[in-house]
Amino acid sequence: MDRLTRKELKTDKFALEVGHGVEYVSEHRQQVTRYGGIAAGVIILGIIIYAVLSYQAGVRQDALRTALQTQDAEVGPPSAAGKPAYPTQEAKDEAVKKALTGVADKYSGSEQAAVARYYLGAMAADKGDLATAEKFLRDVVDHGNKNYASLAKLSLASVLAAENKAAEGEKMLRSLVASPTAFVSNEQATIALARYIAPTQPADARKLLEKLQGSRSVVSRAALNALAEIPKK
Protein backbone atom coordinates (compact mmCIF):
# COMPACT_ATOMS: atom_id res chain seq x y z
CA MET A 1 0.00 0.00 0.00
CA ASP A 2 3.04 2.31 0.09
CA ARG A 3 2.38 3.45 -3.47
CA LEU A 4 -1.03 4.89 -2.61
CA THR A 5 -0.24 8.57 -2.48
CA ARG A 6 -3.21 10.00 -4.39
CA LYS A 7 -5.22 12.44 -2.28
CA GLU A 8 -8.56 10.74 -3.00
CA LEU A 9 -7.41 7.54 -1.36
CA LYS A 10 -6.95 9.42 1.89
CA THR A 11 -10.31 11.19 1.80
CA ASP A 12 -12.71 9.09 -0.28
CA LYS A 13 -13.94 6.32 2.02
CA PHE A 14 -15.85 4.71 -0.82
CA ALA A 15 -12.59 4.14 -2.67
CA LEU A 16 -11.14 2.30 0.28
CA GLU A 17 -14.22 0.28 1.16
CA VAL A 18 -15.22 -1.07 -2.24
CA GLY A 19 -11.90 -1.00 -4.04
CA HIS A 20 -12.69 1.87 -6.45
CA GLY A 21 -9.49 2.39 -8.41
CA VAL A 22 -10.38 3.65 -11.88
CA GLU A 23 -10.16 7.18 -13.25
CA TYR A 24 -10.30 8.71 -16.68
CA VAL A 25 -6.70 8.73 -17.92
CA SER A 26 -6.18 10.11 -21.40
CA GLU A 27 -3.30 12.54 -21.51
CA HIS A 28 -0.08 10.52 -21.23
CA ARG A 29 1.65 7.46 -19.87
CA GLN A 30 2.82 9.18 -16.69
CA GLN A 31 -0.75 9.26 -15.42
CA VAL A 32 -1.21 5.55 -15.96
CA THR A 33 2.10 4.95 -14.21
CA ARG A 34 0.79 6.85 -11.21
CA TYR A 35 -2.66 5.29 -11.15
CA GLY A 36 -1.62 1.73 -11.96
CA GLY A 37 -0.51 1.27 -8.37
CA ILE A 38 -4.05 1.99 -7.24
CA ALA A 39 -5.34 -0.98 -9.15
CA ALA A 40 -2.66 -3.20 -7.70
CA GLY A 41 -2.91 -1.86 -4.16
CA VAL A 42 -6.59 -1.23 -3.60
CA ILE A 43 -8.32 -3.80 -5.77
CA ILE A 44 -5.91 -6.70 -5.50
CA LEU A 45 -4.85 -6.37 -1.87
CA GLY A 46 -8.23 -5.08 -0.69
CA ILE A 47 -10.66 -7.38 -2.49
CA ILE A 48 -8.89 -10.21 -4.26
CA ILE A 49 -6.84 -11.47 -1.35
CA TYR A 50 -9.91 -11.55 0.87
CA ALA A 51 -12.09 -13.17 -1.78
CA VAL A 52 -9.59 -15.76 -2.98
CA LEU A 53 -7.41 -16.57 0.01
CA SER A 54 -10.40 -17.11 2.31
CA TYR A 55 -11.23 -20.26 0.35
CA GLN A 56 -10.20 -23.68 1.55
CA ALA A 57 -6.42 -24.03 1.42
CA GLY A 58 -5.04 -25.74 -1.66
CA VAL A 59 -2.04 -25.84 -3.92
CA ARG A 60 -3.20 -23.03 -6.20
CA GLN A 61 -4.15 -20.80 -3.28
CA ASP A 62 -0.80 -21.40 -1.63
CA ALA A 63 1.05 -20.55 -4.84
CA LEU A 64 -0.93 -17.34 -5.28
CA ARG A 65 -0.49 -16.41 -1.62
CA THR A 66 3.26 -16.84 -1.90
CA ALA A 67 3.37 -14.74 -5.06
CA LEU A 68 1.38 -11.91 -3.51
CA GLN A 69 3.35 -11.98 -0.27
CA THR A 70 6.45 -11.21 -2.29
CA GLN A 71 4.96 -7.77 -2.79
CA ASP A 72 5.34 -7.14 0.95
CA ALA A 73 9.06 -7.94 0.98
CA GLU A 74 11.40 -5.15 2.06
CA VAL A 75 13.83 -3.32 -0.18
CA GLY A 76 17.30 -3.01 1.27
CA PRO A 77 19.59 -5.16 3.43
CA PRO A 78 18.10 -8.28 5.07
CA SER A 79 16.33 -7.48 8.31
CA ALA A 80 17.34 -8.90 11.66
CA ALA A 81 14.00 -10.67 11.82
CA GLY A 82 14.91 -12.64 8.72
CA LYS A 83 12.12 -11.23 6.57
CA PRO A 84 12.59 -11.48 2.78
CA ALA A 85 14.38 -8.49 1.29
CA TYR A 86 15.59 -7.42 -2.15
CA PRO A 87 18.52 -5.09 -2.86
CA THR A 88 16.49 -2.85 -5.18
CA GLN A 89 12.88 -2.16 -6.09
CA GLU A 90 13.63 -3.46 -9.57
CA ALA A 91 14.80 -6.79 -8.15
CA LYS A 92 11.68 -7.03 -6.01
CA ASP A 93 9.39 -6.20 -8.94
CA GLU A 94 11.09 -8.85 -11.05
CA ALA A 95 10.59 -11.44 -8.29
CA VAL A 96 6.89 -10.55 -8.02
CA LYS A 97 6.51 -10.74 -11.78
CA LYS A 98 8.25 -14.12 -11.93
CA ALA A 99 6.09 -15.55 -9.14
CA LEU A 100 2.84 -14.31 -10.63
CA THR A 101 3.79 -15.49 -14.11
CA GLY A 102 4.45 -18.93 -12.67
CA VAL A 103 0.96 -19.05 -11.16
CA ALA A 104 -0.65 -17.74 -14.35
CA ASP A 105 1.11 -20.27 -16.57
CA LYS A 106 0.96 -23.32 -14.32
CA TYR A 107 -2.69 -22.95 -13.33
CA SER A 108 -4.08 -21.47 -16.53
CA GLY A 109 -7.87 -21.37 -16.51
CA SER A 110 -8.18 -21.17 -12.73
CA GLU A 111 -9.35 -18.25 -10.61
CA GLN A 112 -5.87 -17.95 -9.18
CA ALA A 113 -4.42 -17.56 -12.69
CA ALA A 114 -6.94 -14.82 -13.40
CA VAL A 115 -5.85 -12.96 -10.26
CA ALA A 116 -2.20 -13.36 -11.23
CA ARG A 117 -2.82 -12.03 -14.74
CA TYR A 118 -4.81 -9.14 -13.34
CA TYR A 119 -1.96 -8.21 -11.05
CA LEU A 120 0.57 -8.55 -13.88
CA GLY A 121 -1.54 -6.16 -15.92
CA ALA A 122 -1.71 -3.68 -13.06
CA MET A 123 2.06 -3.86 -12.59
CA ALA A 124 2.62 -3.21 -16.30
CA ALA A 125 0.28 -0.19 -16.16
CA ASP A 126 2.14 1.03 -13.10
CA LYS A 127 5.32 1.09 -15.19
CA GLY A 128 3.66 2.72 -18.20
CA ASP A 129 3.85 -0.44 -20.33
CA LEU A 130 0.37 -0.01 -21.79
CA ALA A 131 0.58 -2.74 -24.42
CA THR A 132 1.48 -5.38 -21.84
CA ALA A 133 -1.11 -4.07 -19.41
CA GLU A 134 -3.81 -4.28 -22.07
CA LYS A 135 -2.76 -7.82 -22.97
CA PHE A 136 -3.03 -9.17 -19.43
CA LEU A 137 -6.18 -7.28 -18.48
CA ARG A 138 -7.95 -8.18 -21.71
CA ASP A 139 -7.11 -11.82 -21.09
CA VAL A 140 -8.89 -11.63 -17.72
CA VAL A 141 -11.85 -9.86 -19.33
CA ASP A 142 -12.12 -12.53 -22.01
CA HIS A 143 -11.37 -15.65 -19.98
CA GLY A 144 -11.87 -14.91 -16.27
CA ASN A 145 -15.15 -15.45 -14.45
CA LYS A 146 -17.54 -12.52 -14.37
CA ASN A 147 -16.29 -11.17 -11.04
CA TYR A 148 -12.63 -11.00 -12.01
CA ALA A 149 -13.55 -9.88 -15.52
CA SER A 150 -15.44 -6.94 -14.04
CA LEU A 151 -12.39 -5.83 -12.05
CA ALA A 152 -10.25 -6.13 -15.16
CA LYS A 153 -12.70 -3.98 -17.12
CA LEU A 154 -12.36 -1.20 -14.57
CA SER A 155 -8.59 -1.05 -14.94
CA LEU A 156 -8.55 -1.81 -18.67
CA ALA A 157 -10.80 1.17 -19.37
CA SER A 158 -8.17 3.63 -18.10
CA VAL A 159 -5.43 1.86 -20.07
CA LEU A 160 -7.53 2.07 -23.23
CA ALA A 161 -8.13 5.78 -22.65
CA ALA A 162 -4.39 6.36 -22.42
CA GLU A 163 -4.01 4.50 -25.72
CA ASN A 164 -6.57 6.79 -27.41
CA LYS A 165 -9.22 4.07 -27.27
CA ALA A 166 -11.51 5.89 -24.86
CA ALA A 167 -14.66 4.90 -26.72
CA GLU A 168 -13.97 1.22 -26.11
CA GLY A 169 -13.22 1.91 -22.47
CA GLU A 170 -16.48 3.81 -22.07
CA LYS A 171 -18.35 0.88 -23.59
CA MET A 172 -16.78 -1.46 -21.04
CA LEU A 173 -17.78 0.75 -18.13
CA ARG A 174 -21.34 1.07 -19.43
CA SER A 175 -21.53 -2.72 -19.61
CA LEU A 176 -20.57 -2.84 -15.91
CA VAL A 177 -23.30 -0.35 -15.05
CA ALA A 178 -25.80 -2.55 -16.88
CA SER A 179 -24.45 -5.82 -15.46
CA PRO A 180 -22.83 -5.32 -12.03
CA THR A 181 -21.09 -8.15 -10.21
CA ALA A 182 -20.25 -9.15 -6.67
CA PHE A 183 -16.92 -7.34 -7.03
CA VAL A 184 -18.11 -4.26 -8.93
CA SER A 185 -21.46 -2.82 -7.86
CA ASN A 186 -23.76 -0.76 -10.06
CA GLU A 187 -22.93 2.31 -7.98
CA GLN A 188 -19.19 1.79 -8.23
CA ALA A 189 -19.40 1.31 -11.99
CA THR A 190 -21.60 4.40 -12.34
CA ILE A 191 -19.13 6.59 -10.46
CA ALA A 192 -16.24 5.17 -12.48
CA LEU A 193 -18.13 5.87 -15.72
CA ALA A 194 -19.00 9.41 -14.66
CA ARG A 195 -15.37 10.21 -13.85
CA TYR A 196 -14.30 8.61 -17.10
CA ILE A 197 -16.57 10.68 -19.34
CA ALA A 198 -16.46 13.91 -17.31
CA PRO A 199 -13.72 15.60 -19.38
CA THR A 200 -15.66 15.22 -22.63
CA GLN A 201 -19.27 14.75 -21.48
CA PRO A 202 -19.59 16.75 -18.25
CA ALA A 203 -23.38 17.13 -18.46
CA ASP A 204 -23.91 13.38 -18.83
CA ALA A 205 -21.43 12.70 -16.03
CA ARG A 206 -23.37 15.01 -13.71
CA LYS A 207 -26.64 13.26 -14.50
CA LEU A 208 -25.12 9.90 -13.60
CA LEU A 209 -23.80 11.16 -10.29
CA GLU A 210 -26.88 13.14 -9.30
CA LYS A 211 -28.87 9.90 -9.27
CA LEU A 212 -26.67 8.61 -6.43
CA GLN A 213 -27.11 11.50 -4.02
CA GLY A 214 -30.29 10.29 -2.35
CA SER A 215 -28.88 9.30 1.03
CA ARG A 216 -25.98 9.92 3.37
CA SER A 217 -24.42 6.62 2.46
CA VAL A 218 -20.82 5.99 1.44
CA VAL A 219 -22.01 5.85 -2.17
CA SER A 220 -23.72 9.23 -1.88
CA ARG A 221 -20.61 10.83 -0.43
CA ALA A 222 -18.49 9.35 -3.20
CA ALA A 223 -20.91 10.71 -5.80
CA LEU A 224 -20.69 14.16 -4.23
CA ASN A 225 -16.89 13.99 -4.29
CA ALA A 226 -16.95 13.03 -7.96
CA LEU A 227 -19.40 15.84 -8.72
CA ALA A 228 -17.05 18.31 -7.09
CA GLU A 229 -14.32 17.23 -9.51
CA ILE A 230 -16.35 18.24 -12.58
CA PRO A 231 -15.69 21.87 -13.49
CA LYS A 232 -18.77 24.05 -13.49
CA LYS A 233 -19.63 26.05 -16.58
Calculate mean pLDDT across residues 166-193: 93
- Condensed to tens digits (0 to 9), the pLDDT of residues 71-128 reads 888 888 876 666 778 888 899 889 989 999 999 999 888 888 998 999 899 889 888 8
Calculate mean pLDDT across residues 157-183: 93
Terminal CA-CA length for the chain: 37
The number of residues making up the chain comes to 233
Q: Are strands 85-86 and 74-75 parallel, antiparallel or unpaired?
A: parallel
Taking the C-alpha atoms of residue 118 and residue 103, their distance in angstroms, rounded to an integer, is 12
How would residue 27 be classed by pLDDT, with cut points 50, 70 and 90?
Answer: very low
| Dihedral class, residue 76 (left if φ above 0, else alpha if ψ from -120 to 50, else beta) | left
Q: Long-range pairs for 213-219 at CB < 8 Å and ≥24 separation?
A: 218/13, 218/14, 218/17, 218/18, 219/14, 219/187, 219/191
Which amino acid, residue 200?
T
Taking the C-alpha atoms of residue 86 and residue 195, their distance in angstroms, rounded to an integer, is 38
Which amino acid, residue 139?
D
What pLDDT is attached to residue 204? 94
